[in-house]
Amino acid sequence: MKKVLWFRRDLRVFDSMLLAIEGEVLPIFIFDTNILNALEKSDKRVSFIFEQVLKLKDDLKAMGLDLALFYGTPLEVFTYLKTLGISEVYASVDYDAHAKERDAKIAEQLSFHALNDCYLFEPNEVLKKDGSPYLVFTPYYRAVQALYTKFYALEYTRGKQSLSNFEYNELWCIQIGDKKPLHVKIESMGFESLHVNILEPQKALEIFTCKVDSYAQKRDFLDTDATSHLSVHLRFGTLSIREVVRFLAKLKAQGHDTEPFFRQLMFREFYAYLLYHFPKLAWENYKYSPPISNDAEVYERFISAQTGYPLIDAAVTELLTTGLMHNRARMVIGSFFTKHLMLPWQRGEAFFAKYLLDYDASANILSWQWCAGTGIDPQPYFRIFNPYAQSLKFDKEARYIKRHLPLLKDVPASSLHKEDYLMTHDIESYPKPIIGHESARRRFLSSFTS
């Protein structure tokens, strides 16, 4: 019986649950037009995914397999594959609302097998004694630590597989039952070919070996490259979560301090877990109803990096130009957007979703709810980051700011952390702050409690 191996968030051949499935297999990847049609033609993620899919195809061919490429909606693709006698499909699990709806439609046609290949734990595996999900990270983390054994990080090896006959050399456009061959080029789908400069997964692991001991102390500093550079690889599965954990276990055995980074990996698990158990979190507040402005001009100034707050504008520029944003900057941005500007977190989440290379629905949604103070396990609504204090603490010499806002290169670093200077001095081509920090803080708290 033929089995479809649907690669999605697991674009690799090493330590792959899909490749552990035995029997006659048809490996596929679908360039989903439900997603692609909403993206700009210069979207960096499409280029990154396209490059990784071609690499996956080459790696599979080296193993005696191959990868069939489709362009269309998953429902159209599987309707077509069903005519070829396909009855089973295996795919890595995904928990966001779009993914669950998509998979439910496929499961109505075929026997659908969801594999927990993106996370260590199943969502119903870590529960309180009464069978309900944890709502706070710290007790969840303790439960995870108590549950974890080496079993969770075991490497999956390839099963006995034979390749199903198919025409693997084309990109197949499937629309309303019609099958049309396209050249295997990103331009065939109407997108620009852009090279995305991302560290290879093994290189990122190698470099992180030298950073892991100082990760907890330095990861928040914007002018220091102390982060792991693994988020994109975990998002698209070019690196297995299990391999990362085995890597940490090896470093721990050598005496390295790996717990702070493992804790961050468990935050990733926790957010996916919450979205699974509380799917309405994707669009609804769990706590409170914060004041909302929805000022169109204010939003435009934010997304065009024209707020007059150097740290905020540098972070937005980093996102727009690279598809990345430092984690500390993301937290300050989230607080500023929802509290200083009083814009709805859903719009900020959608802005990140449009540009982040490592966009992960659960992590992004729950992080924005945390910043807004509306989520299940949030920061208090009255905690409002001061962007000037944050830049002074985590980018004292303004290296991060000046790297992404070179028009500020001649302004003394100390001045970029001072609102009085920014309000009273004219800087060529750079606006004055959109609102004063203290007045914004008072406005938000007054609106929240009124």
- pTM of the predicted structure, to 2 decimals: 0.93
Give CA torsion, residues 303, 308, 311, 313, to 10 deg. 20
User: C-alpha 160: how far from its chain's center?
Assistant: 33
Q: Supply 185's token pair.
A: 């080029």
Q: If 0-12 CB within 10 Å is exposed, 13-18 middle and 19+ buried, where does residue 263 land?
A: middle
Q: Which residues lie below 8 Å from residue 188, measured CB to CB, with a gap of 6+?
A: 71, 171, 182
Domains, the chain, ordered by start: 1-118+167-182 (3.40.50.620), 296-449 (1.10.579.10)
Cα(95)–Cα(360) distance, integer angstroms: 10
Backbone dihedral angles phi then psi of residue 153, each to the nearest 5 degrees: -110, 10
pLDDT at 449: 60
3-state SS, residue 335: helix
Mean pLDDT, contiguous 10-residue spans, the chain (450 residues): 94 98 97 94 94 98 98 95 93 89 93 96 95 95 95 95 96 88 95 91 94 91 90 96 97 96 96 94 88 91 98 97 94 96 96 95 94 84 92 97 97 97 96 97 82
